[in-house]
Structure 1
Amino acid sequence: MDHSFGSVWTREPRAAKSPTLSRAQIVRAAVELLDAEGSEALSMRRLGARLGAGATSIYWHVANKDQLLELVLDEVYGELVVPDLGEVGWRDAVFAFAYAMRQAIFRHPWVTSIIGTTPALGPNAMRLTDRMLTLFAEAGFQGLDRDYAVSTITSYVTGVTTPEISWQAMMTRAGAGPDEMDAAIRPAVEMVAADYPALLAYYAEYGAVDMSTKRALNFEFGLTCLVDGLAARLERGPDAPRPGLAPRPPSAARSGTAPHSETAARPGTGPRPGNAPADGDGAAV
């Protein structure tokens, strides 16, 4: 069985036979098609029609659809910016990155279907990974903890935002807005929760807040807890005893982290989550 892997980023550049179609044009058109119609609509034939060119013109730049997906994924990563620690503290930089990633997903909801299945080997992905690892290193994280910290944040953003994307898609199919959908579902929720007074009281209180605000506050709460946890870990070191848990055995694969003076500070010197655009409004962060 052939397990070789051919990435578009290791493909030797080919000089175009004519200047009518460039890789950049292909990527822009592919992103526009995906934004408008979703991942199921993407095909070389559909893309060629959008560009007014044959599929063979696209194959001159990419070997197959998988390589095209590598290109569009890296295009999305190119929208994300990580602030320098000289401009803001590490906590605020993490907040800014997380919100930028969340808004990019809302602008390009199809990306949730290819994150994790499409290799992120492009220049924008490399730049972003390097910036995030450097950010956590400058904050005081060491060794593999830097990678774990990056993974924790990106996994949280995709994990919370992906179900929201699915919910939005369902609302679009139903032709209903978030508050309309909430009102339609509430009677069924109240019926099945009738035997749980505390739960009913919770739903009544929660139902007074509009759905967009609920989701925004939910995201901010979880992200704040994560960053607080990273700050606490940085302050005590990864191998310090954990309350209620047995001490972790020493491991050569782990390395300690030094306390950092900023860990006690709350975010506030840089962009605050409350100033972020409303979820799904398509505004840049």
Structure 2
Amino acid sequence: MARDTLTQEHIVSTAIELLDEEGLEGLNMRSLGKRLDSAATAVYWHVKNKDNLVLLAADHVWHEIELPDPEALGWREAATRLAGGLHAMLGRHPWLVPAFGTYLFYGPGKARYDDLCLATYESAGFTAAEADRAAATVFTFVLGSALSAASEASLTRRLGRDGDDAKARFEETMTKAAEVARRFPRLRARLDAPEANAYAAAPEGSFEFGLQMLLGGLEAELAGRPAR
């Protein structure tokens, strides 16, 4: 594909596909150019470098999150949907989770999301400073909740690149972890229960449970304030 027929939008969407499949470590201009049937130099004409491309890709996927109306739904339902939408997006694009350790993300997609989060908590009755803290707390919870799936995806890719049977190696490691855990009574009881998950796996519904506990605490803080 010639330089003048490439577009930044096409480059970014193709980069997202590559990131979803190969993670941050699998993204480079040569691999991207091959997918685009174009020379890497032509890609550089539209994006400055890999770091710039990651920022553009991240902001693009932020637009996937549907923005609810807190006035129509109420602040808690809107906050639930905002957090759930972010969590689902991070699940679709697990490379974004570890990228927070090395990139400072910004752009209109993230900004529109952040702005509505603040508006949602302000509509609940929090001051601007309190809304900042509430939004940051919920965001940190969502990011932490997405970490396990992102780590598993990264580990599976790494094992696969090493030429190993990634699934078998992963299951072998989890088996060893469970053997250690069984030395401790509460962990042993949970692992031996009929409905047990794999060791270190979050029980089903953990994200939803944690989010509602967190939002419930924020709601209780508001309810405990003296009437103005």
Which TM-score band applies after superposition, normalised by the shorter structure?
A: 0.7 to 0.9
**Deviation at 1:192?**
5.1
- Which structure is larger by alpha-carbon Rg, 1 or 2? 1
Q: Distance in 1 between matches of 2:114 and 2:176?
A: 46
Partner of 2:188: 200
Structure 1, 146-155 or 93-102: larger mean CA deviation: 93-102
Matched, 1:164 2:152: no
**Deviation at 1:107?**
1.0
Deviations 1:246-269 (A, max 9, x none): xxxxxxxxxxxx869xxxxxxxxx
Higher helix share: 2
Q: Find 1:60's aligned residue among 36, 40, 45.
A: 45
**Deviation at 1:216?**
3.4
Partner of 2:13: 28
Partner of 2:162: none
Matched, 1:223 2:215: no
SS for the counterpart of 2:72 is coil
Partner of 1:267: none
Matched, 1:189 2:174: no
- Distance change in 2, residues 1:209/1:96 (3 Å): farther
Matched, 1:137 2:125: no
- The runs of 5 or more residues in structure 2 that have no matched partner are 160-164
Q: Distance in 2 between matches of 1:97 and 1:87?
A: 14
Partner of 1:148: 133
SS for the counterpart of 1:132 is helix
Q: Distance in 2 between matches of 1:116 and 1:130?
A: 22
Q: Distance in 1 between matches of 2:177 and 2:99?
A: 34
Q: Distance in 2 between matches of 1:209 and 1:111?
A: 29
**Deviation at 1:189?**
2.8
Amino acid at match of 1:129: D
**Deviation at 1:168?**
4.2
SS for the counterpart of 1:152 is helix
Matched, 1:176 2:167: yes
Q: Find 1:85's aligned residue among 70, 85, 98.
A: 70
SS for the counterpart of 1:176 is helix
CA RMSD of aligned residues (A): 2.9
Structure 1, 56-65 or 72-81: larger mean CA deviation: 56-65
Partner of 1:99: 84
Structure 1, 20-29 or 113-122: larger mean CA deviation: 113-122
- The runs of 5 or more residues in structure 1 that have no matched partner are 1-16, 238-257, 261-285
Write out aligned runs for 1:219-258 (5 A): 219-237=207-225
**Deviation at 1:24?**
0.4
- Distance change in 2, residues 1:21/1:185 (3 Å): closer
Deviations 1:144-191 (A, max 9, x none): 1111111111110111211232134445645439xx94x984576356
Contact 1:31 1:72 (8 Å CA) reproduced: yes
Percent identity for Structure 1 against Structure 2:
34
SS for the counterpart of 1:53 is coil
Q: Which fold has the larger relative contact order, with Cα–Cα distance below 8 Å and residues 6 or more apart in sequence?
A: 1
Contact 2:12 2:57 (8 Å CA) reproduced: yes
